[in-house]
Amino acid sequence: MGIFADTVPVITVGSISKRWLVPGWRLGWIAMCDLNGILKEAKIDKSIESYINITSDPATFIQGAVPQIIANTKEDYFAKILNLLRSSADLCYGKIKETRGITCPHKPEGSMFVMAKLDLSCLDGIRDDLDFCCMLAKEESVIVLPGTFNFRPRGTLDASGFCHDPMRML
């Protein structure tokens, strides 16, 4: 995105947890390229600085690990991760499409999770998304979150953990 920085300001956001797939490692960064001072004039830089002051610092061991993680990560790691995420998303989407009573209106393109919709009329004995998730965990050892946990409409699923193990697919 830096190639656009001479035309428009660019804000880059990153984190260890997303870039290196280590959930829970709450360490991220924001980099601004603002050659024309547009963000500074709008006081975006001050807003970001004030936000930094209200968040807690990451654990010391995480801070200490970051230089080694960055220095020792081979360039092909990111390509491999993208391929893994893409193939997992394709597998998950394909299996959901084949499963009666579950639909996925949009194939995931840029995230590590997918939202799916339940057709409860096709699922005998299932009252709602929470009931479905509990039964799936109990019967198949597959953990998904009901959409209502993320303030989604009843009957939706956040299947972020749904497709990590292809052997456990429906």
Question: Is the pLDDT assigned to residue 152 strictly greater than 80?
Answer: no
Q: How confident is the model at residue 17 (pLDDT cuts 50, 70, 90)?
A: confident
Residue 170 is predicted with a pLDDT of: 38
Same domain, 156 and 86: yes
Same domain, 158 and 133: yes
Average pLDDT, the chain: 81
Question: Is the pLDDT assigned to residue 166 strictly greater than 50?
Answer: no
What is the CATH number for 82?
Answer: 3.90.1150.10
Same domain, 52 and 80: no
Q: Specify the number of domains making up the chain.
A: 2
Same domain, 81 and 57: no
Residues counted in the chain: 170
> Given 72, 93, 122, which residue is the final one in a domain?
72
Report the helix count and the strand count for the chain, using DSSP H and E.
6, 6
Q: How confident is the model at residue 43 (pLDDT cuts 50, 70, 90)?
A: very high
CA distances from 117 to 123, 125, 127 (A): 12, 17, 14
Same domain, 62 and 91: no
Residue with tokens 């001050």: 46
Same domain, 13 and 56: yes
Same domain, 32 and 62: yes
Residue 41 is predicted with a pLDDT of: 94
Question: Is the pLDDT assigned to residue 167 strictly greater than 70?
Answer: no
Same domain, 65 and 95: no
Residue 147 is predicted with a pLDDT of: 79
Residue 168 is predicted with a pLDDT of: 40
Same domain, 64 and 110: no
Mean pLDDT along residues 29-36: 88
Mean pLDDT along residues 144-154: 69
Same domain, 9 and 56: yes
> pLDDT: is 164 or 55 the higher one?
55
Mean pLDDT along residues 77-82: 90
Question: Is the pLDDT assigned to residue 58 strictly greater than 60?
Answer: yes
* CA 13 from centroid of its chain's CA atoms: 14
**Residue range(s) defining the domain that contains residue 147:** 76-168
Same domain, 32 and 48: yes
Using CA atoms, how far apart are residues 170 and 106, in angstroms rounded to an integer? 19
> Given 52, 72, 92, which residue is the final one in a domain?
72
Q: How confident is the model at residue 160 (pLDDT cuts 50, 70, 90)?
A: very low
Same domain, 95 and 25: no
- Widest Cα–Cα separation across the chain: 61
